[in-house]
Amino acid sequence: MTAARRRTLIQVFLAATLVVALGVLAEIARKRVALGPTDGAGWRPIEWPFPRDGWPPGRAWRNRDGIDVYVRPKLGFCGNCDTGVVTDEEVDRVTDIDLLDERFVPVREGSRIRITDLAGRARLYKLKTRLGAEDVAEGIAVAYKCDLIVAIVAGDEVADESVRKRAHRFLESNTVQVWVNKELEAH
């Protein structure tokens, strides 16, 4: 092979690589745009990470510290439309914590929580990641009449209360609330 031919092949290879890279970047950018913008506090929408199940997929966000928040309405699922979510057993039952690890174990009793005007309960769970590492995540369930809004706060440092509080503030933000209200109104 002549030097000129070799040079041409390298140039073609580099050009093709560039095209593929640009295509991948464009696809990533397209998906990012489709998912929505990052909010002022740094919460970036990510794809719903769980496989298809009986409920419509929810929405998920990740912040700069690697904390994930997964939210979805479960319409008509509240155990008691009058009292809302008042027991830890119901939090175990209705949140999506089992999607992270079916063998989750509660860390301790849960506590009451209020997300904007919706009340319910939150509970911390110990679980194992797919790689077998121990982790902690928080399950949250609040009710509006017979409808539930469930959320998970997952990622490093979730055992830290200040980290969870930051996630709770995000759950109360317009980014989440506008979407949640739209979903509830569709019912």
Partner 1 sequence: MIRQGVVAAVLLVAPAVVHAQSQKVGAPPESSNMRMVGYNDLQARSAYQPTIHHQGNRWIAYIGHHGGTDEIPTPVNPLTGKAEPNGTSIVDVTDPANPKYLKHLPGAPGTYEAGGAQMVRVCDGASLPHADKLAVYMLRTFGGEAHEIWNVVDPTNPVLVGRLDGLKDTHKSWWECDTGIAYLVSGAPDWRTKRMTQIYDLSDPAHPVKIRDFGLPGQQPGATGAVPTELHGPISTGPQGNRVYFGYGTNKGGMLQIVDREKLLKGPKEPTPENLRAPVVGELAMSSWNGAHTTFPMLKMPVAEFAHDKDGATRDFVMIVDEAILNECQEARQMVWFADVSIESRPMVVSNWTAPEASGNFCQRGGRFGSHSSNESMAAVYYKKMAFIAFFNAGVRALDVRDPFQPREVGYFIPAITDKTDKRCVKVDGKDRCKTAIQTNNVETDDRGLIYIVDRANTGLHILEMTGDARKVAGLP
Strand partners, 125: 106, 137
Q: Does 54 bind partner 1 (CB under 8 A)?
A: yes
Interface pick for partner 1 out of 90, 140, 148, 153 (rule CB under 8 A): 90
Give the SS3 label for residue 98.
helix
Of 35-43, 59-67, 81-89, 159-167: span binding partner 1 (CB under 8 A): 81-89
Give the SS3 label for residue 161.
helix
Contact 147, 76 (CB under 8 A): yes
d(CA 156, CA 153): 10
Q: Which is nearer to partner 1, 39 or 89 (CB)?
A: 89
Of 60-68, 84-92, 156-164, 167-175: span binding partner 1 (CB under 8 A): 84-92
Strand partners, 126: 105, 136
Q: Does 49 bind partner 1 (CB under 8 A)?
A: no
Q: Which is nearer to partner 1, 34 or 186 (CB)?
A: 186
The distance of closest approach from Cβ of residue 164 to partner 1 in the complex, given in angstroms and rounded to an integer, is: 21
Q: Does 39 bind partner 1 (CB under 8 A)?
A: no
Alpha carbon distances (Å) from 107 to 98, 153, 154: 15, 14, 14
Sign of CA dihedral 89, 184, 38, 20: positive
Residue that the structure tokens 């809004």 belong to:
149
Instruction: Please give the structure tokens belonging to residue 155.
Output: 């990622």
The distance of closest approach from Cβ of residue 100 to partner 1 in the complex, given in angstroms and rounded to an integer, is: 10
Q: Does 185 bind partner 1 (CB under 8 A)?
A: yes
Interacting residues toward partner 1 by CB under 8 A: 52-55, 75-76, 79-82, 89-90, 92-93, 98, 101-106, 181, 184-187
